[in-house]
Structures are given as structure tokens and as C-alpha cells.
Amino acid sequence: MDVKSAYYQLGYKNKNGKLKHNFRFPNFLITNCIDELKFDGHFCFVDTNRIISPFPDRPDLVHATAWYIFRLVKLNINKGETDTEITWEVDYINSNIGFHLNPDDEGCPEKRGWQLAIETMKEMGVDKAKIFVDKHQNELNELSKELPDSWQYFYVSSDRSGTWFNHIFRRLDNAINILTQPDYAEYEKVDIEKYLMGNVEHLLKRDGTHYLK
């Protein structure tokens, strides 16, 4: 049997019989999420939301895109009899967190958001990339062919918490409508990154007060 394209997917069927995915790997031979951490390139999480509270003076800005781009410089995996302990170190100095307000023009807002993150990675000189998105899951294999060599789209859900990838994406999704408001300067990169990585429960303002969980 010649398999030209396949997925390994984690998920469940809802009461209507529709398959809801927690995570989808582009390579069906990968059997767990830990294998996906063993990567010497950049991880990129990018999400686009419709803005809850539009700006009064800019009614055309109706979508907000956020991305988080980083590389693991150290990864330790210790498998025990009943659990697995994973620790990592991120290249925080060269990581990139970005937020962008998008006008409501023609085209897919999610794909426009992906392009912003892609252009950022090109400016960073990224060689290898795993790009995590939560839309167009059935098209990602084909869309990945349009990316540079050694770049790949992955599907990950923001409303489930089955993996480390779900966790980061959910927190990025939570933060978008906060960090695209006019008072975004009250937040510092180090605190945003701690929140996205799950090192703190709340996104902290510069004065130490928390805003969301």
C-alpha cells in the first residue's frame, strides 16, 4: 500500500456524531505529543479572533491576530512507570510575541493572520517551523505545501486542554482581546510569556495586578 498523505489525530465524536479534534499530527506515524516536542526548529502559535469591543474611531478594525514564536533550547523527558516528567528551556531573548489589528476586508481573516506570523518568522530567519492554528484543519496538508521547506501547519484546538499545545493556544486565545486594547502597554513581554507558558495563572499588568486567568 502506497500512502501518499495521512494524519494521526486525537479527538472524539460529539452527540451529533461529528468528530471534534483535540490535536492532529501531519505524520500518522507519530503516536504521542511528546514526540512533537523533539524539534530543533521554532514553534509558532497564531490565532485570530473577532474583537469583542471594537474601537470607536476605527470601526473597520474587527479582527485581532496574536502569535507566539519560540524555540526550545533544552528538553528533558523522564518517563516513569506511571507518568512522564517533561522540562524545557525556551530561548526567551529571541522569542517573538505579536498582536495586530486587522481590517474587515476580503479574504479569510485567519489566513491573513497566519501570513503575519509567517512574515515575522521569515524576518527572524527561521529555518524550521511548526505552525499551530485552529482553522481549516482538513486543508492543512495542502496548505503546508505553500510554506518554505521544513515548515508545517498543525491543527490544535483552543477549547480543549489535552496537550501542552492546547494549553498554550487556549491562553493565546484568551489574551487576544485584552492585549489589543489601547492599554496594552500595561503588559510586559516577560509577563505575557509567563502566562502563555503556564508559569503563572494570571496575565499580570506592570503594576502586578492580574487581569485574566
pLDDT confidence bin for 28, thresholds 50/70/90: very low
Percent of the chain with pLDDT over 90: 28
**pTM (2 d.p.):** 0.79
pLDDT confidence bin for 76, thresholds 50/70/90: confident
Give residue 161's pLDDT.
59
* Residue-averaged pLDDT of the chain: 78
Give residue 45's pLDDT.
96
Choose the weakest-confidence range: 18-22, 27-31, 52-56, 189-193: 27-31
Q: What span, in angstroms and rounded, lies between the C-alpha atoms of 193 and 133?
A: 18
pLDDT at 18 over 90: no
pLDDT in tens, 29-72: 444 677 778 899 999 999 998 876 666 667 677 788 999 999 99
Give residue 203's pLDDT.
79
Q: C-alpha cell of 195?
A: 502566562
Q: What are phi and psi of 139, to 5 degrees?
A: -105, -5
Helix H, strand E, coil C: the string for 94-137 is CCEEEEEEEECCCCCHHHHHHHHHHHHHHHHCCCCEEEEECCCH
Q: C-alpha cell of 187?
A: 503588559
Q: What span, in angstroms and rounded, lies between the C-alpha atoms of 195 and 34?
A: 21
| 33: enclosing H helix or E strand | helix 33-37
Question: Residue 31, SS3?
Answer: coil
User: DSSP state, 209?
Assistant: -
Q: What span, in angstroms and rounded, lies between the C-alpha atoms of 85 and 29?
A: 23
Give residue 182's pLDDT.
64
Going from the C-alpha of 27 to that of each of 4, 99, 169, the distances in angstroms are 11, 30, 21
Domains and CATH numbers, the chain: 31-197 (3.30.420)
Mean predicted confidence (pLDDT) in 18-36:
54
Percent of the chain with pLDDT over 70: 71
Give residue 171's pLDDT.
87
pLDDT at 137 over 70: yes
pLDDT confidence bin for 184, thresholds 50/70/90: low
Greater pLDDT, 201 or 118? 118
Greater pLDDT, 35 or 136? 136
Q: How far is CA 175 from the centre of its chain?
A: 12
pLDDT confidence bin for 12, thresholds 50/70/90: low
Give burial (CB, 10 Å; 0-12/13-18/19+) of 102: buried
Q: What span, in angstroms and rounded, lies between the C-alpha atoms of 71 and 90?
A: 6
Amino acid of residue 116: L
Q: Please provide the DSSP assignment of 142-173 as one string.
A: HHHTTSPTTEEEEEE-SS--SSHHHHHHHHHH
Amino acid of residue 53: S
